[in-house]
């Protein structure tokens, strides 16, 4: 019931990824309909329902400019649990956040100045800029935008071929 389901606006624009449970509730309330069905079913005492892979809202929902809260979870999500210096993919418990420009030098806690970093690289960098420590960033940090969210939908969608036609590959 926690498998990902792609949510489309009434215009077939991808807007979110939700769990099967939430998708089924939206369908049962008559707010959404299934566009693609997975190979599994959910059974109750009197009914058997096919589990959706993609749902579409029946009424258009205006989606305001999407911004995400600046948090450790969202930084790790943006950086795909990858140390931005040594490029190793690690579990969240083995990563920390690093200020590219150290706070002691006026660096702020912002999307553009925080990156996921392993403990070894963070210790190596210390209170210096990456250039001073002889390190290079894998990617320049930037805010988590709607574009970033769509890229993540594509990554999740690689598991389900039925998503491809909705994600504009």
109-165 confidence digits (pLDDT tens): 999 999 999 999 999 999 999 999 999 999 999 887 655 566 666 666 666 778 878
Residue 77 burial by Cβ neighbours in a 10 Å radius (0-12, 13-18, 19+): middle
Task: Check: pTM over 0.95? Answer yes or no.
Answer: no
Q: How far apart are CA 31 and CA 20, in angstroms?
A: 15
- Cα(136)–Cα(145) distance, rounded to whole angstroms? 24
How many Cα neighbours within 13 Å face the side chain of 89?
Answer: 3
Q: Residue 55 pLDDT > 60, yes or no?
A: yes
Residue 84 carries which DSSP code? T
Report the C-alpha gap between 9 and 94 in whole angstroms.
37
Q: Which domains are delineated in the chain?
A: 4-64 (no CATH), 72-133 (1.10.30.50)
What is the Cα–Cα distance from 110 to 70, expressed in whole angstroms? Answer: 7
pLDDT tens, residue by residue, 73-117: 889 988 989 999 999 999 999 999 999 999 999 999 999 999 999
The answer to whether 74 and 83 are in contact (CB under 8 A) is no
Would you state the pLDDT for residue 153?
66
């Amino acid at each position: 019931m926690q498998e990902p389901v792609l949510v489309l606006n009434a215009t077939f624009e991808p807007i979110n990824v939700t769990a099967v449970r939430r998708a089924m509730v939206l369908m049962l309330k008559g707010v959404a309909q299934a566009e693609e069905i997975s190979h599994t079913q959910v059974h109750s005492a009197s009914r058997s329902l096919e589990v959706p892979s993609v749902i579409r809202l029946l009424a258009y929902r205006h989606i305001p400019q999407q911004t995400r809260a600046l948090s450790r979870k969202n930084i790790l999500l943006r950086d795909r649990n990858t140390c931005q210096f040594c490029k190793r993919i690690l579990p969240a418990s083995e990563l920390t956040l690093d200020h590219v420009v150290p706070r002691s030098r006026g660096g702020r806690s912002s999307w553009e100045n925080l990156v996921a970093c392993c403990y070894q690289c963070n210790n190596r960098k210390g209170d210096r800029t990456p250039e001073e420590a002889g390190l290079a960033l894998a990617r320049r940090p930037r805010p988590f935008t709607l574009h970033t969210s769509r890229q993540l939908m594509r990554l999740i969608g690689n598991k389900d071929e039925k998503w491809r036609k909705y994600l504009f590959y």
